[in-house]
Amino acid sequence: MQNRFPYLSALLMLSCLGTGAAKADEVVLYSSNNIDVVNTVIEQFRQVHPEISVSVVRAGSGALMQRIKAEAEQPLGDLFWSGGFSTLSQYAEYLAPYSSPEASAVGAQYQGAGQRWLGTNTHVTVLMLNERQLGKLKAPASWADLADPAWKGKIVIPDPERSSSSYVALYGLQDLMGQEVFEKLVRNAVVVGTTSGAYEGVANGEFAVAVTMEYAAYQYVAGGLDTIDLVYPKEGTFLSPEGMALIKGGRNPESARKLYDFLASRPAQEEVFKSAFRRPLRSDIAVNTLTSLPAMDQIRVHALDDDRMGADREAFLARWRALVSQR
């Protein structure tokens, strides 16, 4: 799709940013978000702050954080939006504390230590179901249902080594249900290399069920694909909250704070939800009044410790590889 906003760049190479002083009315935004979402929100920001120009560098969260680390002595970016809390915590020393006036609408559990980041949205793990592919099987209501051998080959899961959301889902599944159910479900599943490969596989009728993210599944429901349902397993599901942060030593802190406040604001968060169904963390946005998605207090959530999950990553993935190789 052609960029509708020529003042935005989908990807700016660092050499293009230069090493000289940036303009006082410019913000360099590092973002892992979808370009259409970024374009929409930045267009709204420009209407409020026409005096501030925004340049965008887009890449994955991990790559951008590595870039921020590499630039620590001479930062080229001003603001990062957005990444998982475990990723943000690993790079906290490169992030600048900031107390935004918008932070009061976000629960304390979704704010970084020392106010180094602020939660913006959360992914919710769901089962994405294609009713036409069920055959004689009854629609699953729980994780335990999918451990039944009858589901073998009908479940698709992204590789957790390549998908952070899948890592959260599988780590949470083992933590919640125990090793036996975890292993049975994994043995029933087909593993694909990308997050999109899972939900697209169900939408295209290749599989009956995907372990995926709420927003990814719901886009098909909102688009009118009436064979798709979302299931929130009755034992509980898992959250993958994401946040944004000011880059320590950024050259345009005042303008960056204005963009930060705007991205955290209710209008911007509602726009992101309406366009991409990314569930906001602001307590004053009721997603069930904007869509058919349930309110958060209607979802049973199994809490995970982000620090522990990060520390356990290598050991978990080693066990995962061994399990998959034995199937």
pLDDT in tens, 54-91: 999 998 888 999 999 999 999 999 999 998 888 898 89
Residues 114 and 230 occupy one common structural domain: no
Q: Which two tokens stand for residue 288?
A: 């069930």
pLDDT at 233 over 80: yes
Report the percentage of the chain scoring pLDDT > 70.
Answer: 93
Q: How confident is the model at residue 164 (pLDDT cuts 50, 70, 90)?
A: confident
CB 198 within 8 A of CB 192: yes
Q: What is the pLDDT of residue 16?
A: 37
Residue 137 lies in a domain: yes
Residues 210 and 280 occupy one common structural domain: no
Q: What is the rounded CA–CA span in Å between residue 103 and residue 248? A: 19
Instruction: Confirm whether residue 215 is marked as ligand binding.
Output: yes
Residue 69 lies in a domain: yes
Record the pTM.
0.85
Judged by DSSP in three states, 130 sits in: strand
Higher pLDDT, 9 or 325: 325
pLDDT mean over 232-256 = 97
Residue 17 lies in a domain: no
Residue 138 lies in a domain: yes
Residue 310: domain span: 123-238+301-326
Query: Mind listing the pLDDT tens digit for each residue in 207-222?
Result: 999 999 999 999 999 9
- Rg (Cα) of the chain, in Å, rounded? 20
Residues 129 and 230 occupy one common structural domain: yes
Q: What is the pLDDT of residue 53?
A: 96
Whether the bond into 82 is cis, omega within 30 of 0:
yes
Residues 266 and 322 occupy one common structural domain: no
Residue 133 lies in a domain: yes
Q: Which two tokens stand for residue 160?
A: 């957790």
Q: Which two tokens stand for residue 289?
A: 């009044």
Residues 134 and 195 occupy one common structural domain: yes
Instruction: Give 241's strand partners.
Output: 122
Higher pLDDT, 90 or 300: 300
Q: How confident is the model at residue 327 (pLDDT cuts 50, 70, 90)?
A: confident
Residues 90 and 38 occupy one common structural domain: yes
Report the percentage of the chain scoring pLDDT > 90.
Answer: 82
Residues 112 and 245 occupy one common structural domain: yes
Q: What is the pLDDT of residue 24?
A: 54
Q: CATH number, domain at 176?
A: 3.40.190.10
Range with the lowest mean pLDDT among 138-152, 241-255, 273-287, 299-313? 299-313
pLDDT at 192 over 60: yes
pLDDT at 1 over 80: no
Residue 154 lies in a domain: yes
Residues 306 and 224 occupy one common structural domain: yes
Q: What is the rounded CA–CA span in Å between residue 66 and residue 163? A: 18
Residues 219 and 113 occupy one common structural domain: no
pLDDT mean over 185-211 = 96
Query: Mind listing the pLDDT tens digit for each residue in 86-141?
Result: 889 889 999 999 999 999 999 999 999 999 999 999 999 999 999 999 999 999 99
Kindly compute the dihedral angle of the four CA atoms of residues 19, 22, 26, 29, in this order, to the nearest 10 degrees: 20
Domain count, the chain: 2
Run of H or E residues at 244:
strand 239-247
Q: How confident is the model at residue 309 (pLDDT cuts 50, 70, 90)?
A: confident
DSSP 255-301: HHHHHHHHHHSHHHHHHHHHHH--EE-BTT--HHHHSSSPPGGGS-B
Judged by DSSP in three states, 52 sits in: coil
Residues 90 and 170 occupy one common structural domain: no
Residue 12 lies in a domain: no
Residues 154 and 259 occupy one common structural domain: no
Residues 114 and 129 occupy one common structural domain: no
pLDDT at 189 over 50: yes
pLDDT at 2 over 60: no
Residue 266 lies in a domain: yes
Q: What is the rounded CA–CA span in Å between residue 195 and residue 213? A: 9
